[in-house]
Chains A and B, each alone.
Chain A
């Protein structure tokens, strides 16, 4: 993937075609016992074919809910899209009928779930579950051929003795093996868009490297776009082209991966990068966590959602909401077509 300026000169029409998925001002609300809560508010981003978009941010900020909205899997009846839209190849998918949505999910968009046990059926062997994916996706395969394909896929994701493991139930596998079974199921569909929600957290680094390589190979082969949700900034640096940073149901920064690491510009993004322990951090010392906690969704600050924790917060921040806007940092040799940030005081923040 090139990040050069040539891209900027492409005519907008082609750019449009390249964006296989667009999320536009998405808002999602959950009905709870204590009334409705707005879990996502004004979430926008887009992903191109063959590209990997990272989705990072505070635990509980809405990454998995964003993924569920794209998949059409918001918890029913209480989770609803209340604003905005999701476009797949230019057309809205939020208004599709259930069967249409189901077909899309089975074939074009697939997901690796954060909690494997929610996606795996505990009473069926993993072999049966993986074979079912092939049955749906490649009905032309014979039963025997499906089994061969399933075992080959288990082998690809690094499961030892796949023939034996084929007949095991999810509870007989370690956490990381379950995760890999799920990865195998998602990749077996050869989707246009793969949503990977924390796909490698239960894996050691050598297997993680192997899985990431497998995803990249498939991406190169099929042009699949990947939305990669992770907390691991090392993995972001390795895998992603673009990165979206979320905080409390908002996108606060959207940029290319180089800019994210070289000049993160939103105060939350900066705090996040600073709290990472590095191999050269002095062991057993207190880490630089962002002070304070995310307010609960039912008590969000009226203005900027980060204002109760931000050292640059002013009256304006408390009173009104900043928009996600283009930001050109004066002294950076910007690589991005666009660098979007949601903050009133970027000059102060970035010259401090």
Chain B
């Protein structure tokens, strides 16, 4: 039985928007009471509407943002209140690939320096050794050695993304949070990177949190998938089950909207109707109630709790399912 690597308990990230002595502070519930756990060697996919809090959750896990509430337990240690100094040594074990690669690449450094830096920080190898490691990393992500002497702006979108990936795998971490890590890549390079992540996973029990909008990609790489809506997890189950029989109406809408790679099967994709709510003014009761095609009276008053289905590792937050029970 692989060990639990990461445990997230009731994590929240409430961002204060306005605050002055005459008006009440308003909060944006970017992440709200999120709990899940992740085993070594496992991949948890994270999908959901744009703006639902995936990147915020990712940043909080690595403590790039101070959580407003909840706990993060990594390798048995409660790291929720670690100082940034304490986090430096943990960075060796947990890494992030940012949605926007420029967030992690210093534009004034050459790619060679960017890739050698992690080894310098952790005092690994000598100059020659570090250079060799950096070159090996480039090859792994399919970039030529000449890239060493170039600067990030000299690369295409997908090439920059691959530099970010090379940097993230440099120290052989136990966990990588991949925030849209492969979405800027063409199918073939994307397949290459996914193959690389899968084999790293087998070799060294690498765990992944994999955020992406391409649902076929998420399905391919994930063991379990969590669906988020307005800061909350609304469904969490095995990848297989989610794609075959999604239960939450939002998950159903998402799965049915996957574009089909066949021009003869063009169809009008289902677009959700109703007011798109925001994390600032969330609808009362179930946050999806303003757009849910199956909304009932009680949905508008009472928020459904995330509950496990009887006898199954399938979590869902929807009154419909409670009624089935």
A residues with CB within 8 A of B = 32-34, 56-61, 63-64, 114-115, 117, 158-161, 164-165, 173-177, 179-180, 198, 201-210, 213, 231-238, 240, 257-258, 261, 271-273, 275-279, 281, 283-290, 293-296, 298-299
Contacts and interface: CB of A to CB of B under 8 A. Distances in A.
Nearest to A256: B263
A114 B89 CA distance: 34
A237 B262 contact: yes
A231 B51 CA distance: 22
A202 B146 contact: no
B245 interface: no
B266 A237 contact: yes
Closest 5 CB pairs of A and B: A176-B50, A59-B158, A234-B259, A287-B191, A296-B144
A277 B220 contact: yes
Contacts of B192: 289
Interface stretch (B167-175, B208-216, B292-300): B208-216
A204 B180 CA distance: 11
A283 B180 contact: no
Contacts of A174: 50-51, 55
Contact of A261 (B99, B213, B219, B261): B261
A58 B146 contact: no
A258 B263 contact: yes
Q: Which of A34, A207, A213 has the most CB of B within 10 A?
A: A207
Given A205-B257, A206-B253, A206-B254, A115 B100 contact: yes
A289 B188 contact: yes
A204 B266 contact: no
A158 B50 CA distance: 10
Contacts of A286: 195, 198-199
B213 A204 contact: yes
6 contacts: A164-B280, A213-B271, A232-B214, A234-B260, A261-B264, A284-B43
Contact of A32 (B142, B154, B161, B188): B154
Interface string B184-206: 11111111101100110000000
Interface of B: 43, 47-51, 55, 99-100, 102, 142-144, 146-147, 149-150, 154-159, 161-162, 180, 183-192, 194-195, 198-199, 213-217, 219-223, 239-240, 243, 253-254, 257-266, 268-272, 275-278, 280-281
A14 to B, nearest CB: 26
Given A231-B187, A283-B220, A59 B156 contact: yes
Given A177-B50, A202-B50, A258 B264 contact: yes
B259 A208 contact: yes
B147 to A, nearest CB: 8
Contacts of A115: 100, 102, 157
Contacts of A213: 268, 271
Given A232-B259, A279-B243, A158 B276 contact: yes
Q: Which of A177, A213, A279 has the most CB of B within 10 A?
A: A279
Nearest to B230: A160
A319 B32 CA distance: 61
Nearest to A298: B146
